[in-house]
A and B are shown apart, each in its own frame.
Chain A
Amino acid sequence: SAVISQKPSRDICQRGTSLTIQCQVDSQVTMMFWYRQQPGQSLTLIATANQGSEATYESGFVIDKFPISRPNLTFSTLTVSNMSPEDSSIYLCSVTAGGGTDTQYFGPGTRLTVL
């Protein structure tokens, strides 16, 4: 299994500002994933972050809005830029366990409210 921590756990931000969310894993992993969960909705994949290369974004998500860094095999950041109230969501990072299984483990999430 993998133990994942995220910072901050929650934040309240003003419209037009940016917030950077950190994700730390207790073991080295090849791929990390960032998801968004809007209120009362399911999870939607934002992007896949591989160490040493540009993140791969899903349809509807762009790098200018959600820049991602992946400086090493245990850490990643997601920035939510120029925020609007529609960005109010839970943002979660996840990793694949590896070792012959594709089980995914999720961090506790960052609950973001944009006023």
Chain B
Amino acid sequence: EAGVAQSPRYKIIEKRQSVAFWCNPISGHATLYWYQQILGQGPKLLIQFQNNGVVDDSQLPKDRFSAERLKGVDSTLKIQPAKLEDSAVYLCASSEGLPNEQFFGPGTRLTVL
């Protein structure tokens, strides 16, 4: 069974530029999560989708971050404009349903200069 796929794996941008990350969850998984992990910290949930509906986006900085999961399968997370403090690893995870075991992708390491 294929795991959670993410791209790109690495991205370096200048501050104020925009960037987008892509995630393809495990086939059949209804729930998709985006996390931000800053070095030395645990992952922080940014947004959680159930199919193509948002379940929780309470920690998403909505002035600069946006995410969509239009067809209930893959998802895109965008940052516009990026700030230095956005430098982190962005992790995508999926699960069969809302409270079930999560499976993570390899992450995208973002460096903002």
Report whether chain A binds chain B: no
